[in-house]
Amino acid sequence: MHFTKVHGLGNDFIVVDAEAEELPGNMSKLAQAVCDRHFGIGADGLVLLWPTDEADIRMQILNSDGSEAEMCGNAIRCVSKYIYEKGIIKKEQIKVETKAGIMVPEVSVQNGVVAAVKVDMGEPKLDRKEIPMQGSAGMVIGENLKVGEHNFKVTAVSMGNPHVVIFVVDVDEVPISHWGPRIENHNIFPNKTNVEFVQVLSQSEVRMRVWERGAGPTMACGTGACATAVAAHLNGFTEKQVSVHLASGSLDIEWSENNHVYMTGPAEEIFSGEYLLQNFE
């Protein structure tokens, strides 16, 4: 199986042109195998590219635990760079079909190389049932959530996938591997959830650490950065344009007047190679 490994601010993926490969039937097990950092290639997720009549290309995202994600902001930037530079789709605006709907990334090209990608991530969903999250209808802003003996104030946002954002004094002090899985799997979230811990630096800057549903702690999360920007404004902490600082860089997020959230950031190709499918079997 031919593959290319890519990353968006350290959130890394294995990209495969699914139409060109003879793939096994069980994609979930394949994702677990290739994403394993000791016995596989190593990544946060497997991204399969498929033909579609609905857009220019369809992106299927499988987390490292084999579950399927609706959308991933870092992955879509990486896919945009990949398909443009490989000549698969030579357009600066690309329509990408995802489980969260059709997204429209726009590549910024310098000397034939994609330097950055801006993605229209669509409108944030804020009603509890759209997250989804159990309880009465309405928005979830700074609501108490009891996890064991601890109470967190959470703000819930869906960017096509579920997020809860928790504002803290110092993100470095949060034991994310302790609280992340407990919040992800809390029974109030029927589809589980991504979890962002956020430190507000100013009205235009925040720091974020993330526990991703199905992947655990990752270096970056594009949809999480978008959800963070929305949550920060809803709580009165920031303006609608925010730099979200992550472990290895920043994403620029704008919650525009048309209610769409726009994300701009880098994407990088690391290497290409072949994976022996008999290793998977």
Identify whether 226 is a catalytic site residue.
no
What letter does residue 127 receive in the DSSP assignment? B
Name the catalytic one among 35, 78, 221, 226.
221
Question: Is-contact 86 94, C-beta < 8 A?
Answer: no
Nearest to 267 by CA among 81, 134, 98: 81
Q: How many CB atoms lie within 10 A of CB 165?
A: 29
Identify whether 78 is a catalytic site residue.
no
Name the catalytic one among 35, 72, 78, 226.
72
Q: Coil, helix or strand for 27?
A: helix
**Nearest-10 Cα torsion for 59, 243, 43, 196:** -100
**Single-letter amino acid code for the residue at 139:** M
Structure-token pair, residue 208: 């974020």
d(CA 120, CA 115): 17
- What DSSP letter does each residue of 128-186 carry, written as one string? GGGTT-SSSSSB-SSEEEEETTEEEEEEEEESSSEEEEEE-S-GGG--HHHHHHHHHT-
Q: How many helices (H) and strands (E) does the chain have?
A: 5, 18
Residues in the chain: 281
Phi then psi for residue 81, to 5 deg, are -60, -45
Q: How many CB atoms lie within 10 A of CB 200?
A: 17
| Residues annotated catalytic, as ranges | 72, 221
